[in-house]
Structure 1
Amino acid sequence: MTTPDPTLERWRLILGRAASQSLGADGEGEVVARDAALDWLYGRDEELRNRGIRRGGARQGGSEESTLTTVDWLDDIHRLFPKETIERLERDAVERYEITDIVTDPTVLERIKPNQTLLRAVLRTKHLMNPAVLELAKRIVEAVVRDLMEKLAHDVRRAFSGTRSRRRSLSKQRNNFDAKRTIRANLRHYRADEGRLYLEKAYFVSRVRRYVDQWQVILVVDQSGSMVDSVIHSAVTAACLWSLPGVKSHLVAFDTNVLDLTREVEDPVELLMKVQLGGGTDIARAVAYATTLVENPRRTIMAVISDFFEGGDPHRLVRLVRDLVEEGTYVLGLAALDESANPTYDRELAGRLVSVGAHVGAMTPGQLAEFVAEHVAR
């Protein structure tokens, strides 16, 4: 059997079985199987059908093979496609076509590999699950949170590990290498004919541990559906900050109601299982509650994580933020706290918060850890 042309195969997958005769790929078992898997998902796209675009006939009547179940489809894509494609297909299934049995069917949950797309789906659909299915779904939450914790813990340790001092050190570690001093001290060993600098002696700097006074970090996170990534990363960030000496972290989730989840901060899995996504948005009410947690305004960072589409009273929110800033609290308005930090938010309200002293932007969890470290060490 001849090896199929990769270019023709890509066009075959794009165009579907309607292109079989023209491209000559009909009859190739694996190619047909990949096409059937793609058609099972994208054949349901109403927008494409309205534009007169059809991938093929897998979802039409006639003497076709039996319709794939979700379990069969998952088995097929894991057999037929590379990892990156599998993740994209699973994400489209859950987020674009809302195939909820991917996270509500126990037979599917037992097979599927945890990832952040599925974690988001679990958080959105856990209210549909019976207790047995919820326990299986929790496996996804635990696996993804563990992975995120490991990544962020590294960033937090690095942010709080200390700053370089001017004192020399006998500890010859790559991170402590003093490049400028080493070059300056060895310039006499530079050989122009070779274009090389020979090092007779290398210099290293020591590090001093940051002194951390007691600070509060209060994360106030919008749990509306559009902020699901920020909810996940806020839970993980709060858990990592909780373990730091001298830092007291809080997590407050809100929609039109306010839920103080600080007691669950040490266990971000249980915390996320208690979050209820959706509902309205009352940022002012949440900030008013968070204000009651402030013990020493000049030793407090309050990060309000929201898209700032306020459903409550925006004038009250601006007044509250102004009062916090005037008392010495450092107020951060984060339109996103996730790995991409690429938000959509109400710029008009965000601008009003900036005008009263808040700092508005977007951060990754690692950047927030660095920000906290820089301020608590002053």
Structure 2
Amino acid sequence: SDRSAGLGSSAPNVARWLGDIRTYFPSSTVRVMQQDALQRLRLTEMLLQPEILETVDADVHLVATLLSLSKVIPEKTKDTARQVVRKVVDELERKLANPLIQAIRGSLNRATHTRRPRANEIDWDRTIRANLKNYLPEQGTIIVEQLIGHGHKRSSLRDIVLCVDQSGSMASSVVYSGIFGAVLASIKAVSTRMIVFDTAVVDLSEDLQDPVDLLFGTQLGGGTDINRALAYCQQMITRPTQTILVLITDLYEGGNEPEMLRRAAELASNGVQVVCLLALSDKGAPSFDQRNAAALASMGIPSFACTPDLFPDLMAAAIQKQDLGIWAAKNDIVTVRAEE
């Protein structure tokens, strides 16, 4: 359509369309259409311009478009395409990493510090600061009313699973998920896995050290089998009560819908903290399966769209096992209501 011409945030529909054609056409036709899109968008010409790296903005839609076309981009411009993606991802990571790291570390500290520590677990620095109000200047001493401990040291205090739908409509969410996944993987106190899915399930956890490698491992567009993705996550989860499963999808299920809802209910009843993000982008969730979202809500699994700026605070709330429905309301986020 005319509205899809050009690049950038004015045309987020390009990446969605490029992904959606994989659902409706055979692969030979898709390749021809992608090559045609490459010419119409003048991407090859753009990538041949040396100044492109200096002028490119941190645009998620551009990254999504390049990822969608990665299989048909000519060899001579593939390197530049990768550099463009690297530049945009680096800029976004610089902006998003610090708030996420601070939020996660702060929430882990609050979640793991114990108020009844053994002698060898006392955190003296925190204990002294917590009891300064009880300082007696005449005696030069502090009356300790409250002991604060270091808590139990473990290799990872929470297991986080990002399970991300690769369908065309979720293109921006895939890009943000890849960046957040890489940042989470750099925090030793949490264990992070990243799963992407269409009708197949791919575990990209090994690529989390480099978000660009990870993003080029995705294949935007195609069908959707949420049930299969949840089945994979189920077998991977070993500590349900310490696990946060972030399912990022618009909930349009092409697989077995009743089975998908049964699995979600099972995960929640086993103690996994499940949250469904209908979108992880600045654009919100323009379209999602209302019925499935309401069914999840009736199981206590909140469904809502989340902006990248709020994602760190959401993860902090999840780590502290807060009620995420209440968290969403405090942040003026509309959640889907349970079926009446």
TM-score, normalization by structure 1: 0.61
Amino acid across the alignment from 2:87: A
Match of 1:359 among 302, 305, 311: 302
Match of 2:166 in 1: 223
Asked whether 1:339 is paired with 2:282, we answer yes
- 2:239 corresponds in structure 1 to 296
In structure 2, the CA distance between the partners of 1:93 and 1:324, relative to structure 1 (3 Å rule), is closer
The answer to whether residue 48 in structure 2 is matched with residue 104 in structure 1 is no
**Residues 57-93 of structure 1: CA distance to partner in whole angstroms, max 9, x if unpaired?**
xxxxxxxxxxxxx9xxx9xxxxxxxxxxx96678799
How far 1:357 moved relative to its partner?
2.5
Identical-pair percentage: 31
State whether residues 342 and 362 of structure 1, in contact with CA within 8 Å, keep that contact through their aligned partners in structure 2: yes
Tell me the distance in 2 between the aligned counterparts of 1:110 and 1:303.
39
Deviates more, 1:278-287 or 1:112-121: 112-121
Larger Rg: 1
Q: Establish whether residue 313 from structure 1 lines up as the match of residue 256 from structure 2.
A: yes
TM superposition shift of 1:243: 1.2
Question: Can you give the 5+ residue segments of structure 2 that lack an aligned partner in the other structure?
Answer: 18-35, 111-125, 131-148, 322-340
Cα offset for 1:45?
Answer: 4.8
1: CA distance, partners of 2:187 / 2:208: 13
Partner residue of 2:56 out of 105, 114, 124: 114
Aligned equivalent of 2:75: 131
Matches of 2:49 and 2:40, distance apart in 1: 11
Paired with 1:143 and 1:137, the residues of 2 have a C-alpha distance of 10
Q: TM-score, normalised by structure 2?
A: 0.67
Aligned length: 262
Please, which moves more after superposition, 283-292 or 131-140?
131-140
Q: String of CA shifts for 1:211-233, please: whole Å, max 9, x gaps.
A: 88621110110101110000000
Aligned-partner Cα distance in 2 for 1:359–1:92? 27
Give the 3 Å change call, closer, same or farther, for CA 129–317 of structure 1 in structure 2: same
Partner Cα distance (1:333, 1:282) in 2: 15
Q: Is the partner of 2:223 in helix, strand or coil?
A: coil
Pairing 1:1-378 to 2, within 5 Å after superposition: 45=2, 100-105=40-45, 108-112=48-52, 113-115=55-57, 116=59, 117-162=61-106, 214-377=157-320
Contact kept, 8 Å, 2:225 with 2:256, in 1: the verdict is: yes
C-alpha distance in 1 between matches for 2:225 and 2:209: 26
Instruction: Say what the alpha-carbon RMSD is for the aligned residues.
Output: 3.5
- One-letter amino acid of the counterpart of residue 120, structure 1: A
Q: How far apart are the structure 2 equivalents of 1:147 and 1:102?
A: 24
Q: What is aligned with 1:14?
A: none
Letter in 2 for 1:104: T
Q: CA deviation at 1:343?
A: 4.0
Quote the Cα distance in structure 1 between the aligned partners of 2:185 and 2:313.
15
What is the DSSP-based 3-state SS (H/G/I as helix, E as strand, rest coil) of the residue aligned with 2:287? Answer: coil
User: 1:120 Cα deviation (Å)?
Assistant: 2.0
Write the distance in 1 (CA, Å) between the matches of 2:234 and 2:3.
Answer: 48
Q: Which amino acid aligns with 1:288?
A: A
Alpha-carbon distance between aligned partners in 2 of 1:95 and 1:320, rounded to the nearest angstrom: 28
Q: How many Å separate the matches in 2 of 1:250 and 1:289?
A: 12
- CA deviations on 1:184-241 (whole Å, 9 max, x unpaired) are xxxxxxxxxxxxxxxxxxxxxxxx9998862111011010111000000000010111
CA contact (8 A) 2:162 2:248 kept: yes
**Alpha-carbon distance, 1:338 to partner:** 1.6
CA distance in 2 between partners of 1:127 and 1:365 (Å): 28
Whether the 8 Å CA contact 1:305–1:335 is kept in 2: the answer is yes
Q: Secondary structure at the match of 2:255?
A: coil
Structure 1: tracts of 5 or more residues without a match: 1-43, 48-69, 75-85, 170-207
Larger relative contact order (Cα-Cα within 8 Å, sequence gap ≥ 6): 2
Q: Distance in 2 between matches of 1:92 and 1:309?
A: 18
The alpha carbon displacement at 1:364 in A equals 2.2
Cα drift, residue 377 of structure 1:
4.5
Distance 1:217 1:317 in 2: 20
Give the C-alpha shift of residue 141 in structure 1: 0.5
Distance 2:211 2:240 in 1: 26
Contact 1:265 1:271 in 2 (8 A): yes
Q: 2:15 touches 2:64 (CA, 8 Å); kept in 1?
A: no
